[in-house]
Amino acid sequence: MKIIDEGYTYELENLDLDCAPTQQLKFIKKEPAADDEARYETVQNGTTNEEVLEMLISRLQYLQREKLSCKENACTITKLEEALMWLNKRTNDRKNRGVLDTQKP
């Protein structure tokens, strides 16, 4: 893994040598709006931490069902689900306080 733009763009190695050696994972990037610094606007389209966690959970559940069932996968799924729960809680708390997409804590 190589950091291209810390927090936003990462270069990941592909394991199949017959294809491109890397691929990029981009996260949404928001910065203070030019007309209102109290709110954020998107300056780079990308995914979210929540989407990546959902994808990892799905992949590990598939492996657990079809290929590599083991205690370690089950524990990893549980921890990823917990991480997703905390991120969703943070988002819901920010929505409820009316500070989502702003710089307010």
The pLDDT tens digits of the residues spanning 29-65 come to: 999 888 887 888 899 999 999 999 999 999 999 999 9
Percent residues over pLDDT 70 in the chain: 100
pLDDT at 61: 98
pLDDT at 64: 96
pLDDT at 80: 98
Burial group, residue 3, by CB count within 10 angstroms (0-12, 13-18, 19+): exposed
Tell me the two tokens of residue 22: 């890397």
Higher pLDDT, 42 or 101: 42
